[in-house]
Amino acid sequence: MNKARHPWTWIPSLYFVEGIPYAVVNTVALIMFKRMGLSDTECAAYTSGLALPWMLKPLWSSFVDMFKTKRWWILTMQVSICVSLGSLAFTLPTSFFLQCSIAFLWVIAFSSATLDIAADGFYMIALDEHQQALNVGVRSTFYRLATIFTEGLLLMLIGLFEVYTRKAVVAWSWGFAFLGGIFLLCSLYHKIVLPRLEADHSVGKEEKNAREVFRQFMETFRSFLVKPQAFIAISFLLLYRLPEALLVKITPLFFSEKMSLGGLGLTTSEFGLVKGTVGVVGLTLGGILGGVVVARDGFKRWRWPMVMAMSLPNFFYILLAYFQPESLFWVNVSVGIEQFGYGFGFTLYMLYMLYFSQGESKTAHYALCTGFMALSMLLPGLVSGWISDNLGYYNSFIFIMFLVPISFVAAAMIAVPDDFGKKLVQSQ
């Protein structure tokens, strides 16, 4: 290991770069398709389908170990994302932009999921347990900053390009070209600063082959399914966030739609301010508070406050759709409160995944939990645009509020020791 290389020379930049593609595929692309004139059904379905690689990444995580080094995978995937962003920028002004956009976004999604695998693996072999614990806050902070940069600052910049060029397609082309340039600089930087580790090597075919990897995965999946309350766990993972899974696709479309069609008529820059900055800050603060109170009091005391915080603030979107305020102040207040509640309530979800993954194959079972977590957002997202197209935004938000009891039922099904969160923190 190159011991002269301080972890802070590469951890912040690595996890900042890791967070950008996810925001591009799931939020930025959604707004882009809306600006290009696609229907809500198309916007939501396309971007939800593009999230599939993050759900399936446990399937090929072992292959990342088998071939090349994690450092090689990190650099290669960053170059792949850079080239795809540049290609996306180049093809947006063409008549076949939709087909090219989906193709290049698929490459970005797959490359990003693979980058996640390699980056997390590199983090674990580059640092000892003490350093991993010491830097976990740094990596999560810079991942959040990537979301603020992408959904906030980048969209605000593209909004300025829209005003300057008066052509949305040119503005978005410039925006993706700019982002591709950032990825190029980051890949060059990481080529220099990422340490070359003795422990970072491929497993080798004499130790593993594809058939053995597949057999191990199926055995891990079987052991996951036979755990006590496995069906309840899967049901909770799929249903607890159902209202939010619909909102996460409908609200950007609602913010961007003309007021005459039931939306709020926000510009791209205004959306970046509301959702990418105020919303992300609220989400982050809610998550921090959730972790603090559970660490202090345990699971039992905060189960139902967290469920309520996750679901009840969704009512603010009904008010926004009904009154359609022209002032950004009320929009920011509503989104800030709703996202704060979501961040607070999401702590319950993460805590349960940690609990259910305990035992043998802890890491593999947690990876499977994250796969179901991704599926819980993908499936509702596929139909969310159809719902808003057919019900309108106001009625869609009312419909989502009627689904809120599902979150309460899902939370009531799970069995977790009352002081689980408290024990977990004290033991670390």
**Mean per-residue pLDDT, 17-33:** 94
Residue 64 has a pLDDT of 78
Which domains are present in the chain?
1-208 (1.20.1250.20), 216-428 (1.20.1250.20)
pLDDT at 130 over 70: no
- d(CA 279, CA 272) in angstroms, rounded, equals 9
Percentage above 90 pLDDT, the chain = 57
Q: What is the mean pLDDT of residues 375-383?
A: 93
User: What share of the chain has pLDDT > 70, as a percent?
Assistant: 92
40-60 pLDDT, tens per residue? 999 999 999 998 998 888 777
Task: Looking at 257-361, list the stretches that DSSP marks H as alpha helix, in order from N- to C-terminal side.
Answer: 268-273, 279-297, 299-311, 315-323, 328-356
141: CB partners within 8 A, 6+ apart: none
pLDDT of residue 424 exceeding 70: no
Measured distance CA(166)–CA(174) in Å, rounded: 13
Closest CA to 298 of 355, 339, 341, 342: 355
pLDDT on residue 272: 92
Q: If we measure between CA atoms, which residue out of 151, 152, 78 comes closest to residue 114? A: 78
Residue 74 has pLDDT above 90, yes or no: yes
Task: Write down the pLDDT at residue 207.
Answer: 52
Q: What is d(CA 19, CA 217) in angstroms, rounded to the nearest whole number?
A: 26
Task: Give the pLDDT confidence score for residue 383 in this predicted structure.
Answer: 95
Indicate if the pLDDT at residue 200 is higher than 70: no
Whether 426 shows a pLDDT value over 50: the answer reads: no
In this prediction, residue 210 carries a pLDDT of 62
User: Residue 116: is its pLDDT beyond 70?
Assistant: yes
- Nearest of 373, 347, 355 to residue 228 by alpha carbon: 355
Closest CA relative to residue 274, chosen from 240, 251, 247: 251
Alpha carbon 130 to its chain's center: 27
**Tokens representing 368?**
């499977």
Query: Above 50 in pLDDT, residue 273?
Result: yes
* pLDDT value of residue 62: 72
Q: How much is the average pLDDT of 103-107?
A: 96
pLDDT-wise least confident of 24-33, 213-222, 380-389: 213-222
pLDDT for position 321: 96
How far is the CA of 123 from the CAs of 65, 128, 138, 332, in angstroms?
14, 9, 12, 36
**Alpha-carbon span 275 to 140, nearest angstrom:** 19
pLDDT band at 2 (very low <50, low <70, confident <90, very high): very low
Lowest-pLDDT range of 35-39, 68-72, 256-260, 364-368? 364-368
User: Bigger pLDDT: 428 or 24?
Assistant: 24
HEC assignment per residue over 188-219: HHHHHHCCCCCCCCCCCCCCCCHHHHHHHHHH
Contacts of 129 (CB under 8 A, 6+ apart): none
pLDDT of residue 277: 87
Say which residue, 354 or 90, is predicted with more confidence: 90
Among 140-154, 168-182, 249-263, 385-399, the least confident range: 140-154
The predicted model gives 313-337 an average pLDDT of: 94
Residue-level pLDDT at 290: 86
Lowest mean pLDDT among 127-136, 272-281, 360-369: 127-136
Distance CA 329, CA 356 (A): 41
Q: Is the pLDDT of residue 328 over 50?
A: yes
Residue 427: pLDDT above 60? no
pLDDT tier, 206 (very low <50, low <70, confident <90, very high otherwise): very low
Rounded to an integer, the average pLDDT of 142-168 is: 92
Q: Is the pLDDT of residue 280 over 50?
A: yes
Token pair recorded at residue 134: 């010491």
Mean pLDDT confidence for 252-271: 94
**CB–CB of 1/18 below 8 Å?**
no
* Residue 350 confidence (pLDDT): 84
Q: What is the mean pLDDT of residues 5-22?
A: 88
